[in-house]
Structure 1
């Protein structure tokens, strides 16, 4: 027998306690907008949930840490929960790591339309409309596991459409064992749809607003349509006002355009067109194939300031959050063969590179400076193998620039 069609919102990972990151400085003209953007993204979801064609809302974890977000963040949730209660719209909330139910203060009770699922067991709650059950929502808050424990979500078989709400990492093989129609998942800040994880869909909807260059790209929430035949359609809705963008550039691209500044300018124009008028926070990763290409980059600090000056004050703004120049692995053979200090330096660097930097010993340099703390000296004396290659590349670049009479073309970070 056919059921009824319905529509719900799936959102997660608001992190109202966390500001935007990967910023070494906050531009004054964007300060207020940056401060408000996490709350505004959450508001956009709630405003969409108040629409008449939305039947209920599911939240899959990490909305806020009550202590860190404070009354300001809690008031936002409670005010909108009350508005949804006034419109008789159920809210189903599975807590993640930061919004542990035990952290929620007893002095701020949730309205009756909000189900905050317990941590110790899965609970199934029917969703009714006009006296008829349209689906069943099954949820369990996180116990602190990094992965989702699917077996704990098992419920008695039902003919109703089932929405499972959970927090933590999982994969298609594990999720399909639950035999649910839709998995509303949380705990990942970037959106991910898992094919084959459920009869209808399994979705990490991601955070409504990215917070770092590791969370680049579009962010928002999901609107899920289920028709009378229980066919599921998931719509990605974007609501981020600031968008992080990671852009990689290599020497061949610079050579093709002829100017690093022209190339970066063209990329910014393209990014602005692709991202629909949002403010952009850009991280540039520039690779230099050989020492011959260093002149094409020029001084990295000057390039960073030029980008911020030329493109960071527009409406919308394209603010450069970081500029990384990857040192070349090879320098011209003629430099290496020179009977000069530069040649000696490059040959020594190559020797260290061949043995993976195992003979690197920075401790003697600390003995020349009395102010260096013992902890810092210990770290320099025992450079982890994973960092040796990076340190050697950076040191070689610095030495080459200084010995050739140029400015040190070092990595610029946020």
Structure 2
């Protein structure tokens, strides 16, 4: 059964006064929202072949998507929604005030650019690009494979572009992706609004993979959170630049370097990885290249090359005179740390990130937030090698870390 959709231009009005919050002198929201979590069922959203607007079989999901879409069309407010990577905080990429609302809600530095999200290639071409522009051939094979999906590409800004300069931080390129999550695509399609959408967390905090994470960080700062359950990938999209020669990976993420080389063909065989952190005066071409990121309140210590981890962790605690009976410590294991042996009897919390790199990617932000919200002082994390999904995981972990310990020095 196909459910009818209320499309752009005829969305029903929401019976409340729309107020865009503004930043006070210390960066706080002056007019707080009564943040509402709206349930949506992703399995009820169906994009048929060549259909630009989905069918929705669940009435509550349809109603809640229309509420959120109405907010994006008729106000400058922003809403949070799930993607396959992490939850995003979306506002119109075409209106300065909507983009300012994103930066305000997150308390995000304004020179940190945003990624634009579209619901289809048709929308990308119709809304954001000149009519006679063809996407660069360097992207063709990658888009065939990974769109919709966790891959972001760089495209040029043309004269007269409708994209807000605040999205690009006044640079001559913009980053765009077509998400695979049905809720994200549906929201963008119903509103017919390309959305600037960073992760829906307070700036510097671990990215959110559950609606409860968003509420923890942004309650009273945004009107709505669409709750579509847990995000599948767990880390942000991979950002690539196919306009440069050689092409570059600006941020590792949900699509691995190995996959880009394999699928991209000759155009990507010499791809280079951009440096992890931009300099203080260097323009930031993509999110995640500058400023502190992904950090819990507790200090994070990452251990690499440690085998079972026992010697490396015990040596670190001893060398730094850390008494785990006096402070609250959490241990996050991944692939090699011993689970059958006690590393330290006074470590209060232990969690398993997963037995594969994809599981570690999926669980990383969730478990960092979980133990942090339990009030730990120190989080010890087992790192993984930087192949396949491991590159994106370690990119996030090292940016979250207070210190990275090479366990091979204990051998």
Query: Is TM > 0.5 for Structure 1 vs Structure 2?
Result: no
TM class, shorter-length = under 0.3
- State the structure with bigger RCO (CA 8 A, min sep 6), 1 or 2: 2
Between structures 1 and 2, the one with greater strand share? 1
> Normalising by structure 1, what TM-score?
0.28
Larger CA Rg, structure 1 vs 2: 1
Structure ranking higher in helix proportion = 1
